[in-house]
Amino acid sequence: MRNKVTVIGAGMVGGTLAQRIVEKGYADVVLVDIIEGLPQSKSLDMLQCGPIVDSDARIIGTNTYEETANSDIVVITSGVPRKPGMSRDDLVLTNMNIVKPVTEQVVKYSPNCIIIMVTNPLDAMTQLALKVSQFPRNRVFGQSGILDSARFGTFLAQELNVSVKDVYACVLGGHGDTMVPIPRLTTVGGIPITELLSKETIDRIVDRTIKGGGEIVTLLKTGSAYYAPAAATEQMVEAILFDKKEILPCATYLDGEYGIKGTVVGVPVKLGRNGIEQIIELKLTPEEGAALKKSAEAVMELVKIMKLE
Ligand code: APR
């Protein structure tokens, strides 16, 4: 039996993610949206790629949750993307009112699933889903660090004219203006970039990484990035379903690790069939640790707006 992955939200990120999974063929997909006909039409279109891309995976689209029952993984992308001039944080109340009822339905039909949050503001929405689902933290976490690290890695590979495969990019913290790229632990061919690039160049690339999502929003005007966010989420889905034990940066609830307690923030974790199987604690300098704590505080402020208690 193939694995079952539900994707909530059949918009740009959800649709692209569903396509990636179906075309790889390792899981059946249920695509859910509130817009009638949208998930159904996209699913039928994707299904008809099967003979061309050689995939027998099934995909169905629906506006209700019955078909999602007993999913192994549920990815939540439902929500409003930001428009030019907006920060991810501006979306908090709007998307809270979408993510909360969605999570309740997800839990009702798939009580043993793993939830991957994609809706922004990412860290706050992950914390909301954790609270609403009452699942343990290894089964509710968010996609952001892979995307932020991929952006950092792309710019570094361009700068140094090397393969992206040779770059290990380390980005911690919340998915927003307070994210914490760590140049000291970012390497190219095993060499820290602090030995390869000037401070000015690193600062410029770090700044572009932090504003990476905004750069795309400004160009696109009608919404936010979706190709790389979908690819990043697919990497997480694959790490879980194939029990890869891959070390990936994910938004996870910290309970004292890194000196942070009670907040979701991005750190490296080991992803396998049980979701987060280990939280990796990097040794940070006092400055890096302080930046991570500042980022966690920014998430906490947003969480307060939702009045979760
Ligand atoms: N249930 C199911 N689907 C919903 C609901 C709901 N309650 N509310 C909204 N949706 C759907 C919308 O109908 C839309 O099709 O979510 C989809 C969102 O898709 P887009 O508007 O294309 O947004 P997208 O670019 O996919 O971004 C989704 O991911 O990266 C984040 O910031 C981004 O929060 C945003 C989310």
pLDDT digits (tens, 9 = 90+) for 118-157: 999 999 999 999 999 999 999 999 999 999 999 999 999 9
Percentage of residues in the chain having pLDDT higher than 90: 94
Which of 88, 96, 122, 126 has its CA nearest to residue 223? 88
Q: Where are the beta strands (DSSP E) in 95-150?
A: 114-117, 140-142
Ligand 1: centre distance to CA 74 (Å): 14
Average pLDDT, the chain: 96
Which of 285, 276, 283 has its CA nearest to residue 247? 276
Instruction: Please identify which of the residues 42, 82, 151, 175 carries the catalytic annotation.
Output: 175
Q: Considering all CA atoms of the chain, what is the largest pairwise distance in Å, rounded to the nearest integer?
A: 55
Which of 139, 146, 141, 143 has its CA nearest to residue 274? 139
Helix runs in 161-269, H state only: 199-210, 212-220, 227-241
Which residue minimizes the CA distance to atom 18 of ligand 1? 11
Instruction: Report, as an integer, the average pLDDT of 183-205.
Output: 98
* SS3 state of residue 70: coil
First-last CA distance in the chain: 40
Q: What is the distance between the alpha carbons of residues 241 and 205, in angstroms, rounded to a whole number?
A: 34
- Model confidence at 41, pLDDT cuts 50, 70, 90, reads very high
**In the predicted structure, residue 195 carries a pLDDT above the cut 70:** yes
Give the global pTM.
0.97
Which residue minimizes the CA distance to atom 28 of ligand 1? 77
pLDDT of residue 283: 97
Give per-residue pLDDT as tens, 49-100: 999 999 999 999 999 999 999 999 999 999 998 888 888 888 999 999 999 9
- Model confidence at 307, pLDDT cuts 50, 70, 90, reads confident
Known catalytic residue at 10: no
Percentage of residues in the chain having pLDDT higher than 70: 100
Of ligand 1's listed atoms, the one at least distance from the Cα of 10 is 15
Give per-residue pLDDT as tens, 199-248: 999 999 999 999 999 999 999 999 999 999 999 999 999 999 999 999 99
* SS3 state of residue 184: helix
Pocket of ligand 1 (CB under 6 A): 8-14, 32-35, 38, 77-79, 81-82, 95, 98, 102, 118-120, 223-224, 226, 229
- Pocket probe for ligand 1: among 224, 233, 234, the residue whose CB has the most ligand atoms within 8 Å is 224
Cβ(29)–Cβ(55) below 8 Å: no
Ligand 1: centre distance to CA 161 (Å): 36
pLDDT of residue 113: 98
What is the phi-psi region of residue 85: left when phi exceeds 0, alpha when psi lies from -120 to 50, beta otherwise? left
Cβ partners under 8 Å of residue 304, min gap 6? none
Which residue minimizes the CA distance to atom 5 of ligand 1? 78
For tokens 């936010």, the residue is 224
Instruction: Report, as an integer, the average pLDDT of 248-273.
Output: 97
Ligand 1: centre distance to CA 273 (Å): 27
**In the predicted structure, residue 309 carries a pLDDT above the cut 80:** no
Distances, alpha carbon 219 to alpha carbons 146, 212, 265, in Å: 22, 11, 28
Which domains are present in the chain?
A: 3-142 (3.40.50.720), 145-306 (3.90.110.10)
